[in-house]
């Protein structure tokens, strides 16, 4: 690969086809509209459109070239504004392959090279599937080992040995799709658009007074039908979206990398250097937990996004199994968490109630300004207390921390149960913060700073001495020079 | 985990006395500016009902309290220390934060001298790590102290290897 190479010839088809697809309908309409009146116009227009489309397709192919020169990947592109991108091979963090439907039909793939240092990703759109795979292997193996200029390219063209799959998609997982609400927002947005459309159709809702009763029962029917229909539509849509995104998922190891391939129509392949994986996060949202499902994410350093989903919502046992495999230790995802104690629990309850306090204020407004009987505020206050304490209790149950041979484990979440596992070596500093209220109760919030994932892992409301002891145990030595043994009673430390 | 329960001791050094002066001057200036604005409003208003003064008290009391107590409080809480192995600071006054970053993980060392800080001959040093949550700022340092600390920090961090993640 040390000579200049071009993109695959089939790339020339993609541009025009895409452009044509976009302008097809308006163009047809225009051409037919124009054509019926002035056939000669059509004769001129058609070649212009064709030439334009072909030009759009040919240009990137003519102008884009790439090669591996020594220990650098060099890409040049542009006709008038020439750009030349170089990336040292040892800086290449990820090589992702993607093939939307059109690309798949043509047998080509987009290659995206991430260097992790900044946000620019080098995109090669597109190479033949074999060529893309070869480039990917070459880049990643070269990135991993010390580059050797004498090394012949075709040594690396052998497909890399594959481990047995860590995980493989199962059709039955689709049942979890309706229980993850991430997509619901989008679906509701679409529904909003639809209702607007229904409004535009202009159904006349004005009714005669005589059959109010019939309308009431009809309304009830409509509401029930809408609810049931909404549920059915949501279930079907979410399952379809899930299948489109995750169909054919395979997660496997390849030369020190975790590789994920998936997709029903658009196939995508993501590669994460395993040495950059610092931990995992197991998320069980309330709905998913109810049906025994969970999501698994890896915490990665040095990439634009620190948190990568490696599994879709799927059975908890499956996420545990894969998580264990990625971590190389079954303990972190199973070990019981140390609770934070009664003082932390009280703070959780308070937080739950405080979160819902605005509802009480809203309920008080009519009572104060319109002198209505204060039944409503009293009821709302009771409800807020009950729900708030229930939320707080849930949060307290999920709160906790633990330490295993190589990892620190932190539990968090209010309605969701989240367990975050980080390699001890991934901790690059500590923050012990105490609000005024926490100082009074001798509690602290411990934050482990890290380069991976969300860049911070928070242990909330731990008794101060336990927070410090825990931090000291996670990374022995880091806190050593600053420690004093604690006085017998838990003194409110700080000031 | 069999070690005895431990606590963090205070970082060794206090901020410069001039930093306390600066905090006090800023707090008093904020209080004075607010008073001026409120007086102007009171003069311009056609009528001054009783609740106006209540609102004024609500606005001014915390500002006055801050001007009186904050500088001393911060002076007691703000502390810093640089050892050959780590940077350790304590800061804040409503929420206190103790931050520790090992120097082997430090990526950049910045010095900042704002206009008001220059008036008081002060500098702030910010030490960043690969984590967005890990930046440590030492505020209220005398300029020569800051210069010495930066020199020390850059020397130690330059010696450590790896990409500090």
Q: Which residues of B touch A428 (CB under 8 A)?
A: 101-102, 105, 129-131, 134, 164-165
Q: Is the pLDDT of residue B115 over 80?
A: yes
Q: Is the pLDDT of residue A443 over 70?
A: yes
The pLDDT of residue A455 is: 87
Interface probe for A, chosen from B8, B11, B65 (most Cβ of A below 10 Å), is B8
Rounded (to 5) percent helix, strand, coil in chain A: 50, 25, 25
Measured between alpha carbons, how far is residue A143 from residues A76, A113, A230, B9 in Å?
A: 21, 12, 50, 44
The pLDDT of residue A255 is: 79
The pLDDT of residue A102 is: 85
Phi, psi of B46 (to 5 degrees): -70, -40
| Three-state SS at B84 | coil
Please confirm whether the linkage preceding A20 is cis (ω < 30° from 0). no
- The residue with tokens 């001014």 is B60
Q: Which residues of A touch B83 (CB under 8 A)?
A: 481
Per-range mean pLDDT, top range of A14-23, A122-131, A155-164, B69-78: B69-78
Higher pLDDT, B74 or A255: B74
Min Cα distance B37 → chain A (Å) is 31
Q: Which residues of B touch A115 (CB under 8 A)?
A: none
| Three-state SS at A313 | strand
Predicted-complex ipTM score: 0.89
Q: Is the pLDDT of residue A146 over 80?
A: no
The pLDDT of residue B5 is: 64
Q: By the 8 A CB rule, do A151 and A137 touch?
A: no
Min Cα distance B5 → chain A (Å) is 6
Please compute the mean of the pLDDT values over residues A471-489 and round it to a whole number: 81
Q: Catalogue the E-assigned strands of A36-191.
A: 65-69, 72-77, 83-88, 94-99, 108-114, 121-128, 167-168
Cα separation, A312 vs A449, whole angstroms: 27
Higher pLDDT, A488 or A377: A377
CB atoms inside a 10 Å sphere around CB A233: 12
The pLDDT of residue A387 is: 94
The pLDDT of residue A147 is: 42
Confidence tier at A117 by pLDDT (50, 70, 90): low
The pLDDT of residue A265 is: 86
Phi-psi region of A190 (alpha: psi -120 to 50; beta: other; left: phi over 0): alpha
Q: By the 8 A CB rule, do A288 and A305 touch?
A: no
The pLDDT of residue A304 is: 67
- The residue with tokens 């913060």 is A433
Q: Which residues of A touch B8 (CB under 8 A)?
A: 432, 468, 479, 482-484, 493
CATH class of A400-495: mainly beta
Q: Which fold has domain A5-155?
A: PH-domain like (2.30.29)
- Which stretch of A304-318, A361-375, A464-478, B93-107 has the lowest confidence by average pLDDT? A361-375
Confidence tier at A290 by pLDDT (50, 70, 90): very high
Please compute the mean of the pLDDT values over residues A398-424 and round it to a whole number: 94
Domains A5-155 and A400-495 share a fold: yes
The pLDDT of residue A276 is: 86
Q: Is the pLDDT of residue B53 over 70?
A: yes
Provide the greatest CA pair distance for chain A.
98
* A280 Cβ neighbours under 8 A, 6+ residues apart: A296, A297, A298, A299, A323, A326, A327, A333, A420, A421
Confidence tier at B104 by pLDDT (50, 70, 90): confident
Cα separation, A423 vs A428, whole angstroms: 11
Confidence tier at B2 by pLDDT (50, 70, 90): very low
Please compute the mean of the pLDDT values over residues B145-152 and round it to a whole number: 92
CB atoms inside a 10 Å sphere around CB A188: 13
Q: Is the pLDDT of residue A297 over 80?
A: yes
The pLDDT of residue A374 is: 74
Cβ separation of A483 and B98 shorter than 8 Å? no
Please compute the mean of the pLDDT values over residues A174-188 and round it to a whole number: 77
Q: What is the domain partition of chain A in residue ranges?
A: 5-155, 341-398, 400-495
| Three-state SS at A414 | coil
Please compute the mean of the pLDDT values over residues A413-423 and round it to a whole number: 94
CA atoms within 13 A on the CB side of A180: 21
Cα separation, A166 vs A259, whole angstroms: 10
The pLDDT of residue A150 is: 40
Q: By the 8 A CB rule, do A400 and A420 touch?
A: no
Min Cα distance B43 → chain A (Å) is 31
Q: Is the pLDDT of residue B99 over 60?
A: yes
- Which stretch of A9-23, A151-165, A355-369 has the lowest confidence by average pLDDT? A151-165
Chain B residue with CA closest to A442: the answer is: B7
Q: Which residues of B touch A432 (CB under 8 A)?
A: 8, 97-99
Q: Is the pLDDT of residue A254 over 90?
A: no
Cα separation, B59 vs A40, whole angstroms: 78
The pLDDT of residue A11 is: 82
Cα end-to-end distance, chain B, whole Å: 26
Interface probe for A, chosen from B1, B14, B91, B98 (most Cβ of A below 10 Å), is B98
| Three-state SS at A278 | strand
Residue range A127-137, pLDDT digits in tens: 888 888 888 88
Q: What is the domain partition of chain B in residue ranges?
A: 14-76, 79-159
Cβ separation of B83 and A481 shorter than 8 Å? yes
Min Cα distance A122 → chain B (Å) is 22
Cα separation, B162 vs B129, whole angstroms: 13
Higher pLDDT, A160 or A482: A482
Q: Is the pLDDT of residue B121 over 50?
A: yes
Question: What is the pLDDT of chain A when averaged over all its residues?
Answer: 82
Please compute the mean of the pLDDT values over residues A204-213 and round it to a whole number: 61
Please compute the mean of the pLDDT values over residues A457-481 and round it to a whole number: 91
B133 → closest Cβ in A436, A456, A493? A456
Cβ separation of A436 and B94 shorter than 8 Å? yes
The pLDDT of residue A354 is: 92
Cα end-to-end distance, chain A, whole Å: 64
Q: Which residues of A touch B81 (CB under 8 A)?
A: 482
Cα separation, B119 vs B123, whole angstroms: 10
Please compute the mean of the pLDDT values over residues A75-86 and round it to a whole number: 81
CB atoms inside a 10 Å sphere around CB B6: 20
The pLDDT of residue A278 is: 92
The pLDDT of residue A493 is: 44
The pLDDT of residue A490 is: 45
Burial (0-12, 13-18, 19+ Cβ within 10 Å), B55: exposed
Confidence tier at A106 by pLDDT (50, 70, 90): confident
Residue range B58-76, pLDDT digits in tens: 999 999 999 999 999 999 9
Q: By the 8 A CB rule, do A131 and A82 touch?
A: no
Give CB contacts under 8 A, 24+ apart, made by A391-394: A391/A352, A391/A355, A391/A356, A391/A415, A392/A345, A392/A348, A392/A349, A392/A350, A392/A351, A392/A352, A392/A353, A393/A345, A393/A348, A393/A349, A393/A352
The 8-class DSSP code of residue B1 comes to -
Q: Which residues of A touch B66 (CB under 8 A)?
A: none
Higher pLDDT, A58 or A32: A58
The pLDDT of residue A162 is: 61
Phi, psi of B94 (to 5 degrees): -85, -55
Cβ separation of A482 and B77 shorter than 8 Å? no
Percent of chain A's residues with pLDDT above 90 = 34
Cβ separation of B9 and A484 shorter than 8 Å? yes
Give CB contacts under 8 A, 24+ apart, made by B111-118: B111/B146, B111/B150, B113/B143, B116/B22, B116/B26, B117/B22
| Three-state SS at A230 | helix
Q: Which residues of A touch B129 (CB under 8 A)?
A: 428-429, 449, 451
Interface probe for B, chosen from A429, A458, A461 (most Cβ of B below 10 Å), is A429
Q: Which fold has domain B79-159?
A: PH-domain like (2.30.29)
Percent of chain A's residues with pLDDT above 70 = 81
Residue range A332-385, pLDDT digits in tens: 999 999 999 999 999 999 999 999 999 888 888 877 777 767 788 888 889 999
Min Cα distance A486 → chain B (Å) is 5
């Amino acid at each position: 690969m040390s000579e200049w190479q071009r993109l695959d010839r089939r790339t020339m088809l993609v541009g025009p086809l895409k452009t044509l697809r976009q302008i097809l309908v308006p163009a047809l309409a225009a051409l037919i509209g124009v054509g019926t009146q002035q056939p000669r116009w059509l004769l001129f227009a058609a070649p212009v459109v064709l030439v334009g489309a072909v030009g759009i397709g040919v240009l990137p192919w003519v102008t884009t070239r790439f090669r591996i020169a020594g220990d650098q990947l060099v890409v040049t592109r542009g006709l008038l504004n020439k750009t030349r991108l170089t990336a040292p091979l040892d800086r290449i963090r990820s090589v992702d392959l993607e093939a939307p439907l059109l690309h798949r039909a043509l047998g080509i793939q987009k290659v995206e090279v991430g260097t992790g240092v900044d946000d620019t990703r080098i995109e090669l759109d597109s190479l033949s599937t074999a060529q893309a795979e070869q480039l990917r292997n070459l880049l990643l193996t070269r990135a991993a080992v010390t580059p050797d200029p004498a090394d012949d390219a075709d040594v690396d063209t052998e497909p890399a040995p594959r481990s047995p799959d860590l995980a493989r998609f199962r059709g039955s997982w689709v049942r979890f799709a309706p229980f993850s609400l991430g997509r619901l927002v989008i679906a509701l947005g679409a529904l909003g658009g639809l209702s607007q459309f229904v409004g535009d159709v202009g159904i006349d809702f004005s009714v005669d007074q005589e059959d109010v009763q019939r309308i009431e029962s009809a309304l009830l029917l409509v509401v029930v039908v809408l609810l049931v229909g909404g549920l059915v539509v949501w279930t079907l849509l979410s399952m379809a979206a899930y299948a489109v995104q995750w169909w054919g998922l395979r997660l496997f190891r390849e030369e020190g990398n975790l590789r994920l391939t998936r997709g029903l129509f658009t196939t995508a392949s993501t590669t994460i250097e395993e040495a950059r994986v610092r931990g995992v996060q197991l998320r069980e949202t309330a709905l998913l937990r109810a049906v025994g499902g969970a999501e698994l994410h890896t915490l990665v350093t040095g990439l634009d996004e620190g948190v990568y989903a490696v599994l879709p919502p799927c059975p908890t046992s499956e996420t545990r199994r894969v998580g264990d495999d990625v971590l190389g230790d079954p303990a972190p995802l199973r070990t019981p968490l140390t609770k934070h104690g009664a003082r932390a629990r009280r703070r959780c309850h308070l937080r739950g109630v405080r979160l819902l306090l605005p509802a009480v204020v809203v309920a008080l407004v009519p009572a104060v300004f319109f002198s209505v009987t204060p039944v409503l505020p009293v009821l709302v206050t009771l409800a807020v207390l009950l729900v708030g304490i229930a939320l707080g209790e849930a949060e307290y149950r999920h709160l906790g921390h633990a330490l295993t041979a190589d990892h620190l484990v932190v539990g968090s979440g209010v309605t969701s149960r989240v367990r975050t596992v980080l390699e001890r070596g991934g901790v690059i500093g500590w923050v012990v913060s105490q609000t005024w209220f926490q100082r009074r109760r001798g509690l602290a919030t411990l934050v482990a700073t890290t380069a991976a994932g969300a860049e911070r892992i928070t242990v909330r409301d731990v008794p101060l001495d336990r927070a410090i002891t825990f931090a000291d145990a996670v990374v022995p030595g880091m806190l050593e020079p600053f420690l004093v043994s604690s006085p017998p009673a838990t003194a409110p430390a700080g000031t | 985990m069999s070690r005895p329960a431990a606590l963090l001791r205070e970082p060794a050094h206090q901020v410069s006395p001039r930093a306390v002066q600066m905090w006090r001057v800023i707090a008093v200036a904020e209080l004075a500016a607010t008073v001026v604005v409120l007086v102007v409003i009171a003069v311009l208003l056609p009528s001054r009902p009783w609740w106006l003064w209540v609102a004024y008290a609500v606005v001014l009391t915390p500002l006055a309290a801050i001007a009186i107590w904050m500088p001393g409080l911060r002076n007691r809480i703000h502390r810093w220390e640089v050892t050959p192995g780590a940077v350790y600071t304590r800061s804040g006054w409503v929420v206190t934060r103790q931050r520790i970053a090992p120097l082997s993980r430090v990526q950049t060392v910045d010095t900042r001298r704002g206009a008001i800080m220059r008036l008081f001959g002060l500098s702030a040093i910010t030490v960043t790590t690969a984590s967005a949550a890990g930046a440590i700022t030492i505020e209220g340092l005398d300029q020569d102290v800051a210069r010495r600390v930066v020199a020390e920090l850059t020397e130690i961090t330059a010696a450590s290897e790896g990409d500090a993640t």
